[in-house]
Amino acid sequence: MAFNYSFADRLSNAGTDSPFAVGIEVAALERQGHKVTKMHIGQPDFPTPENVKEAAIKAIHENKTGYTTSNGIFELRQTVVEELKKRYGVDVDPDGVVITPGTKPMLFMAAFALLNPGDEAIVPNPGYGAYHSSVYLAGAKPVSLPIVEEKKFSFDHEALKSAVNSKTKLLMLNTPANPTGGVLTRDDLKVVRDLTLENQQMMVLSDEIYARIVYDGKHESIYSFPEIQDQVIYADGWGKAYSMTGWRMGFGAMPVEVAKKVSSVAINTYSGVVNFNQYACIEAYKGPQAAVDTMLKEFDARRKLIVGLLNEIDGVSCVMPKGAFYAFPNVKEICKRTGKNSQQLQHWLLHEHDLAILHGTAFGSLGEGYLRFSYAASQNDIRAGVEKMKKAFASV
């Protein structure tokens, strides 16, 4: 007889992070001989730069293999401080920097450190699933901030203002954004700044993991407004910009008082990040940046290719993304024609047409009628993937 397991209620509203769930389905199809075109996961298809790999190997040979302080080694935290000064002109205390095992844990740790049951946290919808999950897991209530295509996938200023109330403890932002590729403008950020100053109970968590992947113009950050720095947690990581997703390295920069609480979550869960990986991250920021530039150029070419091809499909329209490596085509017309919602479209495209992408609702209810393509895939895969979708849609 099967054991009757009893599980914690808190996990009932946690997401499954769709790229990983779809990855399991893809692996099963491949074992059956299917040639699946994989555009479901946001992972650069480039190797980690050689100088970065060498720095980790050197650190291993130097026996940098024991525990480190839970918030990360001082040299890396200082390197992050210098990087943030260079990017945004801000002065951050190295004790306000916490190095984390990937950027995702930083989101959870912020939610755990700041939220109580009854508190509200505003999260983008559609938006990266971990925002919603981390708020739920902390026992608080996520409140949707609609991200709208008509605003080039930014938010409506009035909608943000009306979402904030005295219970709002956290506002989560993401620019450039997953899944839409949208970016926040300086005007959007000024609205956030003013609202943050008016609401002294509210912190802003700005996830800028795609800060280095911006195509048109300059990356704008809430961190460049020093007047609200004591209400901001800036989150970033090495995974996307340096093709280091599997190294699991991220960080948060925040007021020292907040960093102490966040570090306490680290101390009580994973103790600290991999020692020698931290030396690789120092090299990533301090060493040559040519590999980042090469990737960005290639992503830009792929961006133009995929958006051009998607817009050639009858019933599909796709806004040109301004950052990250995702295209988020509107397929509402196809949903109407086929009678399928975007989740059913995703399932159909994977199981009957060997194309792995994600449905917009994997990122929140307002993603209905959209699909997400990751173009961190080769140009050949982009051509093959969009062709599969074109044929599938033409058949209905």
Ligand X SMILES: Cc1ncc(COP(=O)(O)O)c(C=O)c1O
Would you tell me which residues interact with ligand X (CB under 6 A)?
A: 42, 102-104, 128, 174, 178, 207, 209, 237, 239, 245, 250
Could you write out the DSSP letters of every residue in 295-333? HHHHHHHHHHHHHHHHHTSTT-B-PPP-BTTEE--B-HH
Q: What's the closest the beta carbon of residue 206 comes to ligand X, in angstroms?
A: 11
40, 19 Cβ separation under 8 angstroms: yes
Q: What's the closest the beta carbon of residue 224 comes to ligand X, in angstroms?
A: 19
Cβ proximity to ligand X: between 70 and 175 the closer is 175
Q: What's the closest the beta carbon of residue 101 comes to ligand X, in angstroms?
A: 8
Cβ proximity to ligand X: between 231 and 245 the closer is 245
Could you write out the DSSP letters of every residue in 150-208? GGTTEE-HHHHHHH--TTEEEEEEESS-TTT-----HHHHHHHHHHHHH-TT-EEEEE-
Q: What's the closest the beta carbon of residue 248 comes to ligand X, in angstroms?
A: 7
Cβ proximity to ligand X: between 58 and 152 the closer is 152
Q: What's the closest the beta carbon of residue 166 comes to ligand X, in angstroms?
A: 28
Amino acid at 101: P
DSSP state of 62: T
* 246, two tokens: 């599997």
E strand segments, 18-71? 37-38
Q: What's the closest the beta carbon of residue 137 comes to ligand X, in angstroms?
A: 15
Cα dihedral 183, 129, 272, 255 sign = positive
Query: In sequence order, which residues have a C-beta less than 8 Å from that of residue 300 and are 6 or more positions away?
Result: 215
Q: What angle is formed at CA 189 by the lines to CA 188 and CA 195, rounded to 5 degrees?
A: 100
Cβ proximity to ligand X: between 2 and 24 the closer is 24
The rounded distance, in Å, linking the Cα atoms of 13 and 275 is 34
Cβ proximity to ligand X: between 40 and 353 the closer is 40
Q: Count of CB atoms within 10 A of residue 314's CB?
A: 10
Q: Which residue is nearest to ligand X (CB)?
A: 102
Single out the residue of 138, 140, 190 nearest to residue 160, CA to CA.
190
Q: What's the closest the beta carbon of residue 106 comes to ligand X, in angstroms?
A: 8
Cβ proximity to ligand X: between 38 and 104 the closer is 104
Cβ proximity to ligand X: between 102 and 321 the closer is 102
Q: What's the closest the beta carbon of residue 223 comes to ligand X, in angstroms?
A: 16
Place of tokens 């403008």: 185
Cβ proximity to ligand X: between 49 and 237 the closer is 237
